Structure 1
Amino acid sequence: MVTIKYWKEIEYREDGSGPNAILVFHGGHMRAASDSGEAFFIENGYRVLIPSRPGYGKTPLSAGRKAADFADLMAELVADLNIKAVVVVGISGGGPTALQFAQRHGELLGALILQSAVSHDGWPDKSTHRGAHVIFNSVTERMTWAFMRASFTLFSQATLRFMLHSLSTKSPGEALKTISGQRRASLIRVLRQLRSGHGFVNDIHYTVGDVHRISAPTLIIHSKYDGSVDLSHPRFLAAQIQNSILFVSEAENHMFWYSDLYPDIETEMKRFLDSLSSRSRPDQAA
């Protein structure tokens, strides 16, 4: 059972009870209640906070029309919860907000993890930008996702193959070879729950700021076959952030949490998080 909390006008989810905290900025078309791969962090003893970003769930667009504005607001939430520092995780379209948080609130940042993240201002391309305003605006997105839910109900595997065209550079048939059993069922379940609200059309105008200013330990994770956010993004970040590690996974698609190869990514994240304890940094929780 997912429990949603509210702080000011922001809805957020809190899970786990460890001494160290993770702040997750979810991807596009998702919200606080969505599965954002947080199970890994909870299992490794972290307290996880997942706010609905502006325009998603019940968080109003006014909470942050710019990524920097929402990053500032989340710094206030962290302070109000008496958390001294967080590991920030930026996923896909949540990447710009995570990067802005890292630049603007270094005193609260223990480390940064980017997963399939939008990491420079060249996203999306012009055709995707125009298309987003047509099919994902606050009126049409209801019909878009209602159609997709109906398609998944009637033709789940065929609809998954259709979605994989935008998630992977591999053919759907090739991609599905490494998405099996329960992982495939979980991916379908998450895709059925997607909604854009007012959020996605706002996301495509976000900017990442001056990422070379980020000095915190940073892990950049990306699929070699990401069909949604291409490899120019992680490569740009790795070149700009001095204290960074780039891990390019063989996972077959953008949503690599549901890949059979995800355990390799979990191993890399565990190694990175364990390394933080040997560095000189502030305690993460009061």
Structure 2
Amino acid sequence: MPMSAPAAVERPTEVADLSRGTVEYRLERRGPQTVLMMHGGHMRASLPLGEEVFADAGYTVLAPSRPGYGRTPLTTGTSPEGFAEVVAELCDRLGIGSLAAVVGQSAGGRSAVTLAARCPALVRRLILQSAVGPLVWPDLRTRLGGGVVFSPRGERLTWALIHLLMRRAPAAGLRLLLRDLSVQPIGPVLAAMAEPHRALVTALFERMRSGSGFSNDLRGFTDTTAYRRAAADVTQPALVIASPDDASVPFSHAQALADALPDVRLIAGRAPSHFIWFGDDYPALSAAITGFLGEDPAA
């Protein structure tokens, strides 16, 4: 799998002032078809993850920062439905009349599903990767703990300490942070991680921030009825990829998405953690993604 150099993990972004608020975004133009990325928790538009498969296939990539992350304020799109309208306006502003796919990663899953449901003329396919589904998420312990350490007031100090740990003792930092992302013992998980993957994960953890976005995510996944209704309204073909060894977003979420989406294919990956992009089967998953993108949605 082609890997970006860790030093280049953060990329320049722009800001658009739209009728529904300000949104930060990154647009990397390649071919005529565009894939839109809805990132997960603690991420923002400047931090690419899992985009190589689209770049290598020649797709233009558009990545907005979801509300509360990066330079997108929480007041922009105060709900998944509202942010879908923001993204649709952003696409119109950028001259993008069609999206080959919207990709929802982790906590960005609901935003991707909602965009597909509300804008069927814009979105042709839906891809969900380790995505939170229409189930209560996270568990009570994580919700309470995350609500404190990653609160808008506390996240700056939390991430300053994490960033320092990743710079000074990356092996210890990976052991600490990956423990909550895998159901497997952390020792074998780290031992099996290839060095380029280890370097990229380290670089990501060195740059992550929560802003006010993660607290907003925690509140947003309590209404499972609205999410399930949005999934049922998706008419486009959908591809759901997740790992049964994911401790952050249990595989039951992928199964719930497969049950809720009308036209869906579910793939269980072999990655030993939440990061499906760093499993030994990712070349096969990449081939499945490019094959899915090449299918005729009307077929």
TM-score when scaled to structure 1?
A: 0.93
1:214 and 2:234 matched: yes
Residue-by-residue CA offset, 1:154-182 (whole Å, 9 max, x unaligned): 22112101111111111111212331111
Structure 2 partner of 1:244 = 264
Q: Which residue of 1 aligns with 2:167?
A: 153
- Counterpart-to-counterpart distance in 1, 2:201 and 2:147: 25
What's the counterpart of residue 284 of structure 1? none
Q: CA deviation digits over 1:123-182, x for unaligned, max 9?
A: 112222211221001111011111111111222112101111111111111212331111
Residue segments in structure 2 that go unaligned for 5+ positions in a row: 1-7
Equivalences for residues 18-29 of structure 1 within 5 A: 18-29=31-42
Cα distance change, pair 128–44 in 1 and its aligned pair in 2 (3 A):
same
The letter of the residue matching 2:252 is S
Letter of the aligned partner of 1:97 in structure 2? Answer: S
TM-superposition CA deviations, 1:75-112 (whole Å, max 9, x none): 11112222222110000010111111111111111000
Q: What is the RMSD of the two structures over their aligned residues, measured on CA atoms?
A: 1.5
Partner of residue 100 from structure 1, selected from 110, 114, 118? 114
Structure 1 SS opposite 2:110 = helix
Contact 1:186 1:258 in 2 (8 A): no
Query: Secondary structure at the residue paired with 1:124?
Result: coil
Code of the aligned partner of 2:36: L
CA distance in 2, matches of 1:191, 1:123: 22
Instruction: Find the aligned partners of 2:255 and 2:116 in 1 and give their Cα distance.
Output: 18
Contact 2:125 2:297 in 1 (8 A): no
Deviation at 1:183, TM superposition (A): 1.2
| Equivalence for 2:245 | 225
Partners of 1:223 and 1:146 in 2: CA distance: 30
* Aligned: 1:68 with 2:81: yes
In the alignment, the residues of structure 2 paired with residue 227 and residue 121 of structure 1 have an alpha-carbon distance, to the nearest angstrom, of 15
Alpha-carbon contact 1:4-1:33 (below 8 Å) kept: yes
Deviation digits for residues 237-272 of structure 1 (CA, Å, limit 9, x no counterpart): 111112100001011111222333321221211121
2:102 is equivalent to residue 88 of structure 1: yes
Give the alignment of 1:182-221 within 5 angstroms. Answer: 182-206=196-220, 207=223, 208-210=227-229, 211-221=231-241
Asked if 1:176 corresponds to 2:174, the answer is no
Where 1:205 maps in the other structure, the secondary structure is helix
8 Å Cα contact 2:116/2:234 also seen in 1: yes
Describe how 1:7-46 pairs up with structure 2 within 5 A.
Answer: 7-8=16-17, 9-46=22-59
Structure 1 unaligned runs (5+)? Answer: 282-286
Partner of 2:12 in structure 1?
3
Separation of aligned partners in 2, 1:143 and 1:261: 36
Tell me which moved more, 2-11 or 185-194: 2-11
1:4 and 1:192 mapped to 2: Cα distance?
18
Give me the whole-angstrom Cα distance separating, in 1, the residues matched to 2:192 and 2:57: 25
Deviations 1:164-216 (A, max 9, x none): 11111111112123311111111111111110001000011225251111110
- Percent pairwise identity: 37
- Normalization by structure 2: what TM-score? 0.89
> How many angstroms does 1:114 deviate by?
0.2
In 2, Cα distance between equivalents of 1:260 and 1:121? 28
Contact kept, 8 Å, 2:271 with 2:278, in 1: the verdict is no
Q: Find the aligned partners of 2:119 and 2:219 in 1 and give their Cα distance.
A: 22
Hey, what's the Cα distance between the residues in 1 that align with 2:266 and 2:50?
19
Q: Is the 8 A contact 1:16 1:42 kept in 2?
A: no
Tell me which residue corresponds to 2:146. 132
Q: Is the 8 A contact 2:53 2:290 kept in 1?
A: no
Rounded to whole Å, the distance in 1 between the matches of 2:132 and 2:272 is 18
- After superposition, the Cα gap between the structure-2 partners of 1:239 and 1:209, relative to the gap in structure 1 and judged at 3 Å, is closer
Aligned partner of residue 66 in structure 2, secondary structure:
coil
